[in-house]
Structure 1
């Protein structure tokens, strides 16, 4: 891979004047991205996060449609025009042909994800002396009345999904087991598909998530129902019977480790069969968080289980539709106590 290098520069720091930078080299977007990625890889950023930066840069360059393009040509005006294009004219999945949607404009959540990546990269390039100013610094994220996070699945949708699988087929039995695991533990999909048999503790009904698999780099023990734990062990026994010695619980039909992307593709096909508007792995995690609270769990314990560094993130996951709100009100409304007292 071709690597970009940071040119020599003179940096002046003065308590009475702003810091100035002398940029002695122009960097194309590809060169600048290589420098940024190299730095993030050295910091130990996850491969999926690295790929997100690459993907978001590809979206930007598809809009700019000019090669070569140098990062010093980025301006606040250009970035805001790009955001306006994403909001009004961009067609979701346009590059995938048959997946393209008819409506124009991406969701504020998707736009803000791409903007956050661009702001992070621009800040890095400025701090490294590759830009004389940060063009994204004052660009604000898109405001919206919509909820940032996607909702979980309804009880009816969960029933339809679980009933969809034919457990006589290995792949469908495996996928149903994975769905049950996600609904039971709130694991991230990458944490779930990478599960190995040695990390299942049937005695204490726990699953160990080591630091190198956890998003926040902190290992944790996640409670799991005994029924699901036994199903995981049975699945691994089945895999060993077909494919020989292996540590992974989830395998594909060729005896290779199952991947999150393969599961996403299979969910997308199921979504069409069941006519469910949205269906992807993270929705199972949202469903677990919501149902955990509805069933009487507390927010702080939930935060530890799902490995959120900030409890505000946990709160965002707990989205309840009108039916859930009615059920909770009917169950916990304080007026019932007063009405009972009057009857007595």
Structure 2
């Protein structure tokens, strides 16, 4: 008698599925990360963001000193990594949080895709930080750094122009180094940032003051013979690498004796935002210049010292206009 068996899937298909499941269960952490980055590439992230994911993962592997299996990816490992960064390496809580944020995104992906069985990303949290964590330079410190630059040398003059542009526009390092000559409108006094070169993937236009316009005009004329579209270049006419610029700033800070603060593009961004408010700018126009979608980050950028607050209060006390001056 003929027997009829129900079969919902072909035999070959069922075997292929079982093979795929075994392959997933045997994936190492590095293989999971490669799959994760292939997915992130489809999201149209900036090259800087993609590079950050790879850098942060490499640092984590330097801590573990080996690739991890599925079973070895546990909360204990990541809590140990946080402790190692804080107490062995002396990394600041803010930087620790930047590094583990990308790892948590990766682990969330692994859990959602079924690569790991436990939501490890929920088992460790960002490190608590003090509210006033964003450093800024004083005016005196900025003047000292500008004073050590030699305008008779191309690199010294270029660095001066770049520092002025950083402070004036408050752009990120990646946005600064991605600027093209065609983005600069000296007549209008503004620089256009292209959407694919900004962190938010949105184009925006940032204003520049008259003095920055003057310096940029001189710099653009100085670099015409390079015949390069990129705005800021090395002494031999090549595109300036992010690490090169960061090292230059460190050298300038050391030479100027600014040793108690991190001399970096981001500190100049914080400084520009604080100076903007201190000089009478409003937070709403600042938000647009910085390129933030809400005010929460703007509030962190414009933290003031007690002396700053005292000085502002003397100028803008609520009693101004009510209490007449004594004669």
Structure 2: give runs of 5+ residues left out of the alignment. Answer: 1-15
SS of the aligned residue for 1:207 comes to: strand
Given the superposition, is the C-alpha separation of residues 159 and 54 from structure 1 closer, same or farther in structure 2, using an over 3 Å criterion? same
C-alpha RMSD of matched pairs (Å): 2.2
SS of the aligned residue for 2:136 comes to: coil
Partner of 1:327: 311
Partner of 2:284: 300
SS of the aligned residue for 1:340 comes to: coil
Partner of 1:77: 76
Deviations 1:223-270 (A, max 9, x none): 1113312321321221123x2x22222110121112332111111112
Partner of 1:189: 173
Aligned ranges 1:189-208 → 2 under 5 Å = 189-208=173-192
Partner of 1:239: 223
Partner of 2:28: 28
Larger RCO of the pair (alpha carbons < 8 Å, separation 6+)? 2
Residue 178 (str. 1) matches residue 177 (str. 2): no
Aligned-residue offset at 1:146: 5.1
Aligned-residue offset at 1:161: 1.0
Aligned-residue offset at 1:135: 1.2
SS of the aligned residue for 2:191 comes to: strand
Aligned ranges 1:198-277 → 2 under 5 Å = 198-241=182-225, 243=226, 245-276=227-258, 277=260
SS of the aligned residue for 2:206 comes to: strand
Partner of 1:4: none
Structure with the larger helix share: 2
Of 23-32 and 249-258, more deviation after overlay is shown by 23-32
Greater radius of gyration (CA): 2
Partner of residue 112 from structure 2, selected from 101, 123, 127: 127
SS of the aligned residue for 2:120 comes to: coil
Contact 2:148 2:255 in 1 (8 A): no
Aligned ranges 1:136-155 → 2 under 5 Å = 136-145=121-130, 147-148=132-133, 150-155=134-139
TM-score with structure 2 setting the length: 0.88
Aligned-residue offset at 1:144: 2.8
Instruction: Tell me the matched-pair count.
Output: 309
Aligned-residue offset at 1:8: 5.0
Q: Using the alignment, how far apart are the partners of 1:260 and 1:45 within structure 2?
A: 18
Deviations 1:301-323 (A, max 9, x none): 11111101221011111121222
Aligned-residue offset at 1:121: 0.5
Structure 1: give runs of 5+ residues left out of the alignment. Answer: 1-6, 10-20, 92-104
